[in-house]
């Protein structure tokens, strides 16, 4: 459902995400301060920042779980404050901090989420996603009995059940071994490429961001400090890795660059 205020890209397609002058205040704490950005289809954007930078609040407002104090959030042209249910079937998310019910089997969980999202052939889709994410042998096991890596694969399967056009990932490889983490990154990159899906990624793993993201939005104290490609950001800070850039920002070690970045706002 396209609503007034929705913007389109050059080809006339409604942008998957449009955020304008977004602000969220809790009491006297400004969690998000005047944030604006748009995301195009088929992009992977990383939201970066230290603890309390405003990543979770921004993502929560994208999902419509938190109402902004002021500003506008549109997902596929839908106002997420007033009409979020018109868009939710086109989204999904994965986070290690939100669990899937432990005492149900993986199959039961996936079938129930399939029903909630309105997947037409739930059993067929569960088989298909189980095959893609190599969780076939886990389907009839209780979710609560799985290892951390297996749980992540199942959570990812849940998040891809409806083949979302917008996928929100909160630390998708947290607590995974390097091999599994690498495999998960490949799945995410493949999904984005094959489906032209828009992905928003919140991560503290800078190597992951460098590998996956084609754009980085760096937040600090609720404000956008930088919004560019990982390569541009590294170059601007005169560093070799994104992790070094992150540390410069977190420890305020690059005053010249700060002035430059702040001057851009």
Partner 1 sequence: MKESCVTTKLLPQTGLSASARRIRGMVRRHWYLIRSSGPRTAELIFWPLVSMLMWGFLQTHLAKTTSLAAQAAGLFVGGVLLWDILVRSQLGFSVAFLEEIWSRNLGHLMMSPLRPIELIASLMLVSLMKLTVAMVPVAILAYIFFGFNLLGLGIAFAAFFANLIIMSWALGLVSTGAVLRWGLGAESIAWLIVFILLPISCVYYPVSTLPEWLQPLALALPPTYVFEGLRGLVLQQTFHGDYMLRALLLNIVYVSGALILFRALLESARRNGALVQLGE
The contact set with partner 1 (CB under 8 A) reads 11-14, 24, 26, 31, 41, 56-57, 60, 63-67, 85-86, 88-89, 91-93, 95, 97-104, 108, 111-113, 115-121, 125, 158, 161-163, 165, 194-197
Q: 46 vs 197, which CB is nearer to partner 1?
A: 197
CA–CA separation, 146 and 247 (whole Å) = 35
Q: Give dist(CA 125, CA 137) in Å, integer.
A: 16
**What gap in Å lies between CA 199 and CA 168, rounded to an integer?**
6
Q: Give min distance, CB of 90 to partner 1, in A.
A: 8
Q: Is the Cβ of residue 88 or residue 187 nearer to partner 1 in the bound state?
A: 88
Alpha-carbon dihedral 77, 73, 167, 248, rounded to 10 degrees: 140
Cα dihedral across residues 60, 62, 65, 70: positive or negative: positive
Nearest-approach distance from CB 256 to partner 1, in angstroms: 36
Using alpha carbons, select from 92, 141, 149 the residue that is nearest to residue 116: 92
Residue 117's CB is within 10 A of a number of other CB atoms, namely 19
Query: What's CA 57's distance to the chain center, in Å?
Result: 12
Query: Based on CB atoms, which residue is closest to partner 1, 91 or 225?
Result: 91
| Beta carbon nearer to partner 1, 14 or 247 | 14
| Beta carbon of residue 106, minimum distance to partner 1 (angstroms, whole number) | 12
Taking the complex as a whole, the smallest distance from the CB of residue 36 to partner 1 amounts, in Å, to: 21
Nearer to partner 1, 127 or 239 (CB): 127
| Full strand arrangement of the beta sheet holding 215-220 | 91-94, 166-170, 198-202, 44-48, 215-220, 223-228
CA 176 to chain CA centroid, nearest Å: 18
Q: H or E segment at 72?
A: strand 70-75
Question: Smallest gap, in angstroms, from Cβ of residue 5 to partner 1?
Answer: 17
Of 61 and 234, nearer to partner 1 (C-beta) is 61
Least distance (Å) between residue 66 CB and partner 1:
5
> CB of 128: closest distance to partner 1 in angstroms?
8
Q: What is the dihedral of CA 141, 145, 147, 153, to 10 degrees?
A: 40
The SS3 call for residue 241 is coil
Adjacent-strand bridge partners of 220: 223
Residue 117 or residue 246: which is nearer to partner 1 going by CB?
A: 117
């Amino acid at each position: 459902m396209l609503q007034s205020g929705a913007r389109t890209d050059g080809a006339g397609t409604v942008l998957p995400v449009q955020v304008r002058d977004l602000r969220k205040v809790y009491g006297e704490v400004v969690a998000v301060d005047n944030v604006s950005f748009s995301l195009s289809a088929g992009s992977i954007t990383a939201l970066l920042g230290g603890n309390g930078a405003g990543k979770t609040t921004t993502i929560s407002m994208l999902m419509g779980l938190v109402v902004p104090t002021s500003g506008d959030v549109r997902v596929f042209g839908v106002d997420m404050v007033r009409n979020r249910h018109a868009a939710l079937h086109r989204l999904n998310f994965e986070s290690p901090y939100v669990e899937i019910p432990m005492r149900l089997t993986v199959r039961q969980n996936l079938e129930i989420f399939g029903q909630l999202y309105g997947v037409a052939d739930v059993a067929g889709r569960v088989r298909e996603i189980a095959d893609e994410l190599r969780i076939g042998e886990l389907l009839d096991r209780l979710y609560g009995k799985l290892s951390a890596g297996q749980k992540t694969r199942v959570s990812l399967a849940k998040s891809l059940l409806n083949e979302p056009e917008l996928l929100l990932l909160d630390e998708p490889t947290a607590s995974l071994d390097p091999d599994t983490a690498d495999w998960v990154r490949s799945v995410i990159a493949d999904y984005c490429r094959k489906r032209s899906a828009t992905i928003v990624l919140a991560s503290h793993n800078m190597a992951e961001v460098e590998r996956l993201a084609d754009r980085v939005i760096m937040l600090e104290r609720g404000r956008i400090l930088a919004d560019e490609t990982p390569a541009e950001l590294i170059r601007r800070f005169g560093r070799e890795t994104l992790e070094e850039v992150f540390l410069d920002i977190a420890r305020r070690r690059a005053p010249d660059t700060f002035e430059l970045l702040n001057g851009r706002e």
